[in-house]
Amino acid sequence: MKKAVFFMCLSCVFMLSGCVFNANAITYDENIDMTPRQIQIAEQTPLTEVVASVKGAVVGIMAVTSNGYSIGSGVAVSDGGYILTNHHVIEGGNKITIYLADQSTTSGEVLYSDKAMDIAVVKSQKNLPYLVCSKTPLSVGEDVIAIGTPLSLDFKNTVTKGIVSALNRTVGISSLGGYTTYMQNLIQHDASINSGNSGGPLLRTNGEVVGINSLKASDAEGIGFAIPISVGQTVVESLTENKDYSQGYLGVFAVDVEMAKFENKDVLEKTGAYVYSVDENICSNIKKGDIILQINDTKIKNSLDFRLCIYKLKPGQKANVIVNRDGEIMLLTCDIVNKV
């Protein structure tokens, strides 16, 4: 089955659209179980019970910057208080405050942040209950729920429900300077999200995390996007296994092969990662326009495979990269460096 790909430019990104107050905002007058544990929910559990079970793992986040502050959301996904959120929620933050479901607060430390993927990991000073990251592929039409902090901290743990509208979406984001970047492999859904939902979880109805809400179309209703959870989960696993984890970097920005058509390139490969740009100071072997087919023993079907593979490589390692360059299959060797 051919993978669906969607391309659009958003003039207003990262949840900056209008204010919509949601009637499903939840207030917590009951005692909340904040015991650090993995939250697992049985199949066929009523949605009200699912929400009650997962709420302790969902947090509000405020990052104080030199220019003011930003508000977003986050979700604990591992023992030890490891919280996934968006890069743009904590970018430039010199003080991170985490707002918990039991109305208490604690401080947080940014352990990892990736602007290109808009993913960040914050470690809470207080350990938290945490959710399971789903390993089962999503299906279009599947029910999902979003939990976050839309608009302001007064609306912490607001719950909305929708369906998966499409998978593997690619969104072009235009900056104020006219520079366009791309977010790929996104989950499109129609659960209501607004400014402040950024970094909050997109969940299956069994409480498993499938994505991190990141942006919405500002000139349309019911078009929101979430980053697949596999991206953040890989980073969190690396951090918990190695406290001094440093992300490997190949010096390559790659997109899905379908994106080649936007540069008027006609490629025969149906899978792989199309090299959109290269930092030649890091990797001079790979060229713009190459299609990456394999790295070491890992087959690369799309840009998500490419990113997940690089995340697992360590600075100082060698990467054997198989590429298709204008119809010629080539084996290249590149150094993995530390991403700064």
Render pLDDT for 299-340 as a digit per residue (tens, 0 to 9).
Answer: 999 888 998 898 888 889 999 999 999 889 999 999 999 876
Render pLDDT for 161-204 as a digit per residue (tens, 0 to 9).
Answer: 999 999 988 887 765 455 566 788 899 999 888 777 889 999 99
Render pLDDT for 17-41 as a digit per residue (tens, 0 to 9).
Answer: 223 333 344 444 456 789 999 999 9
Is-catalytic flag, 154?
A: no
CATH number of the domain where residue 269 is located: 2.30.42.10
Domain residues for the domain of 73 are 1-244
Is-catalytic flag, 88?
A: yes
Q: Are residues 220 and 269 in the same domain?
A: no
Q: Residue 157: CB partners within 8 Å, gap ≥ 6? A: 25, 26, 28, 55, 58, 60, 101, 147, 148, 149
Phi, psi of 316 (to 5 degrees): 100, -20
Domain count, the chain: 2
**pLDDT score, position 25:** 43
Q: Are residues 77 and 14 in the same domain?
A: yes
pTM of the predicted protein model: 0.82
**pLDDT score, position 189:** 95
The pairing of strands 130-131 and 38-39 is parallel
User: Is the CB of residue 202 less than 8 Å from the CB of residue 74?
Assistant: no
Catalytic residue among 53, 70, 118, 290: 118
Catalytic residue among 73, 113, 134, 198: 198
Is-catalytic flag, 198?
A: yes
Catalytic residue among 17, 73, 78, 88: 88
Q: Are residues 83 and 168 in the same domain?
A: yes
